[in-house]
Structure 1
Amino acid sequence: MLRYTLMRLGIFAGCLVVVWGLVYSGIAPRGLGASNGLWVVLLALLVSAPISFVVLRKERDRASVQVARRVDRMKANIEANRSQEDGADETRVQGQVS
């Protein structure tokens, strides 16, 4: 998951540099007034999203498998804890009945 995040940030940083260069060279339009920095960041986000979607598909699938494994493991641990509690409750109830 960390690898995917770092790759995503790398793509965004590369797009940010390219968009910044395009805006300050006059090829891409500038923002209005003092909003130029925000314009560059938003434009870089807009450009990096589809690139990341296509380029990082395999890495995203790998990360989702890891997350699914963690969720399954947590569910199994919760179920094991629940069954232990049920067993302890049954033992306590049987001790009170006797």
Structure 2
Amino acid sequence: MLRYTLMRLGIFVGCLLVVWGAVYAGIFPRGLGSSNGLWILLLALVVSAPISWVALRRERDRASLHIVGRVDRMKANLEASRTQEDIADDAARAQSQVS
């Protein structure tokens, strides 16, 4: 998961540098008034999103499988805990009925 995040951040930073250079070279328009920095960030985000979607497909699938595995383990642990609680509750009720 960390690998995917770092790769995505790297693509964003690369796009940020390219967009920054393109804005200051006059290829892309400058923002309105003092919004130039925000304009560059938003434009870099818009450019980097589809690149990340295509370029990091395999890594995203790998991270997704890792997350699904962790969620399944947590569900199994919760179910085991719930079962143990049910057994303990049934034993306590049986004990109180005998007394």
TM-score by length of 1: 0.98
* 2:14 paired with 1:14: yes
Number of aligned residues: 98
- Counterpart of 2:65? 65
Shift, 1:90, TM fit: 0.8
Partner of 1:37: 37
Unaligned runs of 5+ in 1: none
Residue identity (%): 69
Number of the residue aligned with 2:91: 91
The 2-side partners of 1:95 and 1:4 are apart by: 54
Deviation sequence 1:40-69 (CA, Å, 0-9, x none): 001000100000000000000000000100
TM-score normalized by the length of structure 2: 0.97
Paired amino acid for 2:27? I
Query: Equivalent residue of 2:22, what SS?
Result: helix
Shift of 1:94: 1.0
Q: Tell me, which stretches of 5 or more residues in structure 2 are unaligned?
A: none
User: 3-state DSSP class of the match of 2:29?
Assistant: coil
User: For residue 60 of structure 2, what is the amino acid of its counterpart?
Assistant: R
The runs of at least 4 aligned residues of structure 1 exceeding 6 Å deviation read none
Query: What is the root-mean-square deviation in Å for CA atoms of aligned residues?
Result: 0.5
Question: Could you tell me which residue of structure 1 aligns to residue 51 of structure 2?
Answer: 51
Residue matched to 2:76: 76
Q: Residue 31 of structure 1 aligns to a residue in which SS?
A: coil
| Structure 1 position 26, deviation (Å) | 1.0
CA–CA distance in 2 between the matches of 1:46 and 1:95?
65
